[in-house]
Amino acid sequence: MAEGLALRDLTGDAAAAPVALLGMSKASLEAYFARLGEKPFRAVQVMKWLHHRDADDFATMTDLSRALRARLEAEATLAMPEVVQDHQSKDGTRKWLFALADGQRIETVFIPEKDRGTLCISSQVGCALDCSFCATGKQGFNRNLTAAEIVSQVRLARRALRDTDFGRPKPITNVVLMGMGEPLLNFEPVLEAISVLLDDLGYGISKRRLTLSTAGVVPAIRALAGRTDVALAISLHAPTDELRDQLVPINRRYPIAELLDACEAYLEKLGEWRSITVEYTLLAGVNDRPEDAEALIACLARLRERVKLNLIPFNPFPGSGYARPDARDVRRFQERMMAANYATMVRTTRGDDIDAACGQLAGAFDDRTKRRTRYLARLRDHGEIIHGQSGR
């Protein structure tokens, strides 16, 4: 119980004043306008101005009364993070570094493909978890993002992409909460942001194209089933508790059996035609061996028909202690899983030349956990250099 309390304290919500309209769902806006003595339809008007017309100023909202616009100007905000850096990879992947109002910085990545455009957004400044193979975890943790800061990543990315390809915008068709942070440790702001992203008055993202990824916060997965039915991805990365305890420390609190029980409960909410994605980062000589594939087949047996397995070859970073597996070992692992009737894909590494690949996002922020200080000290002790982060 002490561990759980410490974790909740560590991820306490940020202050919510002034009223940040960008992160408010239709229901929240209706409640807000009711408190102002306004009719519910004001929520529809404001959402259209914000998310369809991309308004940055209350003065432009001409279908609101002057008195209401003045009231909003006085007590609400449309503030968004500032774009500090905008990097584009040789493969077309794009990564933004956003500065938040308090000076903390987060990263967001857009991955263009032939038939879709996927935006990977962050839910926390850093990450409260410490998965051993993830660069974000090594940087430590500062705070949760507000719903407005989560939604703003989509708004700013859409704006930045609007004029690419000779005036033909690259659409954001998919949104994945797989950036910095553990979304389910920022439960209410994440769900509020999800509501905005799904709403036709917001961004109209299909629930099948909005994916929430979690390392396995079991109570929150169970609570999630009663609140939404977006796509769910589980960061498993190991087929046994013994190995997962080392790779994904939250497993010591919520072991694999409990995690899979919660996944089954969520699948009941989704219905028979939906599935969940299992993310599995392949680490050379650690979890990519034939015996690991056999253990994974047994581990996921009860969910076989409802699982899509996503294999992710490890993306190296300084001081990780892990290596990327050989392509032959990756292919062998995939073939064994497919032979056992698991739908299995290998995720193509994108944006690694700009540190935008899976597990490489780092941001720039004050680490409340002091984890980053220990990480950098270990790199110095071993004579390693962490490129591009000396000034953070």
- 299 included as an active-site residue: no
pLDDT for position 114: 86
Whether residues 144 and 168 share a domain: the answer is: yes
Which one of the listed residues 38, 107, 149, 192 is annotated catalytic?
A: 107
Assess whether 207 and 287 both reside in one domain: yes
CATH code of the domain covering residue 45: 1.10.150.530
CATH number at residue 95: 3.20.20.70
Q: Which domain holds residue 19?
A: 2-77
The total domain count for the chain is 2
- C-alpha 314/C-alpha 319 separation (Å) is 13
pLDDT at position 306 is 95
Residues 115, 140 within the same domain: yes
Domain end (from 50, 77, 104): 77
∠ at Cα 361 (78, 320), nearest 5°?
155
If asked whether residues 160 and 206 sit together in one domain, one would say yes
* Residue 107 annotated in active site: yes
Do residues 47 and 106 both lie within one domain? no
**Is 148 inside any structural domain?**
yes
- Same domain, residue pair 99 and 244: yes
Q: For position 367, what pLDDT does the model report?
A: 66
Give the residue from 44, 77, 110 where a domain finishes. Answer: 77
Tell me the mean pLDDT per 10 residues along the chain, length 392.
38 63 98 97 98 96 97 97 91 92 94 92 92 84 95 96 63 95 97 98 97 97 94 97 97 98 93 91 97 98 95 87 94 98 88 53 62 54 41 26
Residue 387 belongs to some domain of the structure: no
Please tell me whether residues 230 and 263 are part of one structural domain: yes
Q: Are residues 36 and 141 in the same domain?
A: no
Same structural domain, 69 and 53: yes
pLDDT at 319: 78
132, 278: one domain? yes
pLDDT of res. 350 = 63
Looking at the fold, whether 41 and 173 belong to one and the same domain comes out as no
The pair of structure tokens assigned to 99 is 């500065």
Out of 77, 96, 126, pick the residue that ends a domain. 77
Map the chain to HEC letters.
CHHHHHHHHHCCCCCCCCEEHHHCCHHHHHHHHHHCCCCCHHHHHHHHHHHHCCCCCHHHCCCCCHHHHHHHHHHEECCCCEEEEEEECCCCCEEEEEECCCCCEEEEEEEECCCCEEEECCCEEECCCCCCCCHHHHCCEEEECCHHHHHHHHHHHHHHHCCCCCCCCCCCCEEEECCCCCHHHCHHHHHHHHHHHHCCCCCCCCCCCEEEEECCCHHHHHHHCCCCCCEEEEECCCCCHHHHHHHCHHHHCCCHHHHHHHHHHHHHHHCCCCCEEEEEEECCCCCCCHHHHHHHHHHCHHHHHHEEEEEEECCCCCCCCCCCCCHHHHHHHHHHHHHCCCEEEECCCCCHHHCCCCCCCCCECCCCCCHHHHHHHHHHHCCCCCCCCCCC
Q: Are residues 72 and 90 in the same domain?
A: no
